[in-house]
Amino acid sequence: MKSKIYILIGPPGAGKGTQAKNIASNKDFVLISTGDLLRDNVGRKTELGVIAKSYMDKGELVPTELVTKMIKANIKQNIGKNGFLFDGFPRDLSQNSLLDEMLKEFDLEVDRIIYIDVKNETIYERLTNRRICPKCKDVYHMKYNPPKKDELCDNCGEQLITRDDDKLDVIKKRLDVYHNSTQPLVDYFEKMGKITKINGEKAPKEVEAEIISNI
């Protein structure tokens, strides 16, 4: 059977990372989060990580050829699995064309794009209070989804961190990049009739249920 291909898209802070892990495990999909993969490389100070950091810290997109190389290796490793869930990729029209090309090589195509929609005010409130676990990638919010104990991950006990790019000026830049580069891709998916819009303002469990019912 052909692997299913789903894409989670939406502005920074929409809740993609929060949803991605649960959905992938619920549907037995391989999760490919470019942000997590890049942050992993940054943490390990790999050649890719050192280059990526200089873009990520400014809120800019990492050059497409670096990201697509990383994605391709990941798809290859997992070919034949039940499905793939992409979080954070593709980010613009050119990345989408490259994804289509890569999938074609494996005789695959995108089944559906899940767009998580939130208001601008929500984005700032969410990102300025976000904490992540550098080890297991769990996502927290100090007000809406705080860890049970101090700032330690409920799942693995690791000390939570604030992302280097969750600073006001970088958040603003990331939103500009989203509007200029990713929004045209969302418009394109809408025209193709392949997008399902989800209200990301609801509680995480409700958002999750809505996404799952659409996959």
Q: What is the dihedral of CA 146, 147, 148, 149, to 10 degrees?
A: -120
- Using rule CB under 6 A, residue 90 touches ligand ADP: no
Q: Which does 144 bind (CB under 5 to 8 A by kind): ligand AMP, ligand ADP, none?
A: ligand ADP
Q: Which stretch binds ligand ADP (CB under 6 A): 49-57, 77-85, 107-115, 201-209?
A: 201-209
For residue 194, the one-letter residue type is K
Number of H helices, E strands in the chain: 9, 7
Quick check: helix, strand or coil at residue 98? helix
In sign, the C-alpha dihedral spanning 173, 175, 179, 183 is positive
Asked whether 103 and 109 are in contact (CB, 8 A), the reply is: yes
- Using rule CB under 6 A, residue 140 touches ligand ADP: yes
Residue 131: how many other CB atoms lie within 10 Å: 20
Q: In what order do the strands lie in the sheet with 30-33?
A: 30-33, 83-87, 4-9, 112-117, 195-199
Nearer to ligand AMP, 2 or 185 (CB): 185
CA 205 to centroid of chain Cα atoms: 18
Binding ligand ADP (rule: CB under 6 A), the pick from 9, 15, 31, 189 is 15
Site map 16..35 versus ligand ADP, x via CB under 6 A: xxx-----------------
Binding ligand AMP (rule: CB under 6 A), the pick from 9, 38, 118, 132 is 38
Binding ligand ADP (rule: CB under 6 A), the pick from 6, 207, 210, 211 is 207
For residue 127, the one-letter residue type is L
Q: Which does 38 bind (CB under 5 to 8 A by kind): ligand ADP, ligand AMP, none?
A: ligand AMP
Measured distance CA(200)–CA(198) in Å, rounded: 6
Q: Which does 147 bind (CB under 5 to 8 A by kind): ligand ADP, ligand AMP, none?
A: none
Binding ligand AMP (rule: CB under 6 A), the pick from 10, 15, 35, 83 is 35
Binding ligand ADP (rule: CB under 6 A), the pick from 144, 164, 179, 190 is 144
Q: What are the residues binding ligand AMP (CB under 6 A)?
A: 12, 34-35, 38, 55-56, 59-62, 67, 88-89, 91, 95, 165, 174
